[in-house]
């Protein structure tokens, strides 16, 4: 099994798929479709939304009961393989996108291939997750609704821990409109957007709450045109991360309530919540822990992380969600991205057994209701 997994990962990693290159994502989808058809015996549905290619395998005629979720796009630009190639060295596998999350996609395929019965399982692999899933969000939410569980094959947290909580993400752009004037001859005749931006940056920064884990971070900022002109306009971006929906809504309301400080300045807020929080699904983690015990695996650990994934969307529609079931390794989006080879078949076995357990519990519940 391990040799087959390594062969599939090599093939997938060697097909570069930066999210913003639709043609590259489409090429990678075809490579993945071929790998999936070999492992699962059937081709996927190819779903193209806004020019981005997503793949879906549905098994059985009834409603979906378990959604296995991943993505095949990466953050790495075309040409990365030339200086950062796919390679294995000892117990480590490296290559752009291996940890985030092409190894996890291959694990998902092998896990589902190992199931004695696949009816009720859906595998969805999207092509725009690294962009915030603009075209696939509705598809993900549609597939997740009504499922007993969503299993997300993103890379594990440190030490192989599963991700039971993820912060929700909101993204904003704060735009300032002032009035231009000559900086030397008549600065008083202008309305300085840079100064207004400074006021607003401090107001925005103050909306964070360290005790609740809420971060509100002003990021990229621009203003003005020339060094001798009072800036007539400017803007800055804001990255917000919150553990709860209530906090996400509080920050949203506070940002929209901001008002200009300088007379004559105007302020516009664009954007809003991008992903809801993935709040803890204790029951699903307990079930996974029991499965790991039966497989003779070490006790599973859990982690709450600040980064978001498509698991935020599945949790947002009320589906119990467990994330970080994919590769054990690290270095996502970084030059040291890597995967621990020995963990690949173990995690695939965990996902397969967890799918079986969830499907069995759904069947048992349905039988009990009929009695």
Q: Which residues are catalytic?
A: 73, 129
67 touches 143 (CB < 8 A): yes
Unique residue bearing structure tokens 């940056």: 201
Phi-psi region of 146 (alpha: psi -120 to 50; beta: other; left: phi over 0): left
Q: Which two tokens stand for residue 61?
A: 């005629």
Q: Which two tokens stand for residue 137?
A: 């969000």
Helix (H), strand (E) at residue 94: strand 92-94
Cis peptide before 101 (omega within 30 of 0): yes
Helices (H), the chain: 2-13, 22-40, 103-113, 137-144, 193-205, 245-256, 282-294, 311-316, 343-370
SS3 210: helix
Alpha carbon distance 56, 143 (integer Å) = 10
Alpha carbon distance 40, 111 (integer Å) = 10
308 touches 167 (CB < 8 A): yes
176 touches 321 (CB < 8 A): no
Q: Which two tokens stand for residue 309?
A: 């994934």
Among 36, 275, 23, residue whose Cα is nearest residue 140: 275
The burial of 6, by beta-carbon neighbours within 10 Å (0-12 exposed, 13-18 middle, 19 or more buried), is given as middle
Task: Compute how many other C-beta atoms are within 10 angstroms of the C-beta atom of residue 58.
Answer: 17
Q: Which two tokens stand for residue 167?
A: 């912060």
Helices (H), 206-265: 245-256
């Amino acid at each position: 099994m391990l040799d087959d997994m390594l062969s599939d990962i090599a093939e997938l990693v060697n097909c570069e798929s930066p999210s913003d290159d639709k043609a590259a994502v489409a090429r990678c989808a075809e490579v993945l479709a071929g790998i999936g058809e070999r492992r699962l015996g059937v081709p996927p549905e190819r779903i193209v939304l806004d020019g981005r290619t997503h793949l879906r395998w549905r098994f059985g005629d009834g409603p979906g009961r378990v959604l296995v979720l991943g993505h095949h796009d990466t953050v790495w630009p075309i040409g990365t393989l030339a200086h950062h190639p796919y390679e294995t060295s000892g117990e480590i596998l490296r290559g752009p996108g291996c940890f985030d999350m092409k190894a996890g996609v291959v694990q998902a395929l092998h896990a589902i291939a190992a199931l004695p019965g696949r009816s009720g399982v859906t595998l969805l692999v999207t092509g725009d997750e690294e962009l915030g899933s603009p075209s696939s969000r509705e598809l993900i939410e549609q597939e997740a609704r009504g499922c007993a569980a969503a299993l997300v094959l993103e890379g594990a947290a440190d030490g192989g821990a599963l991700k039971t909580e993820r912060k929700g993400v909101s993204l904003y752009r704060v735009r300032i409109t002032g009035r231009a004037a000559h900086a030397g001859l008549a600065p008083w005749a202008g309305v300085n957007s840079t100064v207004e931006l400074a006021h607003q940056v401090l107001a925005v920064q103050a909306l964070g709450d360290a005790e609740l884990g809420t971060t509100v971070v002003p990021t990229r900022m621009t203003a003005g045109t020339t060094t001798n002109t009072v800036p007539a306009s400017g803007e800055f971006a804001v990255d917000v991360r919150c553990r709860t929906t209530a906090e996400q809504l509080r920050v949203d309301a506070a940002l929209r309530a901001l008002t200009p400080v300088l007379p004559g300045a105007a302020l516009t807020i664009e954007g809003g919540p991008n992903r809801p929080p993935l709040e803890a699904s204790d029951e699903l983690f307990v079930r996974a822990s029991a499965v790991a015990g039966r497989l003779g695996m070490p006790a599973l650990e859990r982690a709450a992380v600040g980064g978001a994934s498509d698991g935020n969307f599945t949790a947002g529609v009320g589906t119990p969600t467990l994330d970080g079931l994919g590769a054990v390794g690290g270095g996502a989006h970084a030059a040291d991205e890597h995967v621990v080879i020995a963990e690949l078949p173990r995690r695939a076995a965990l996902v397969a057994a967890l799918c079986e357990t969830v499907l069995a519990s759904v069947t048992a519940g349905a039988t009990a209701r009929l009695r």
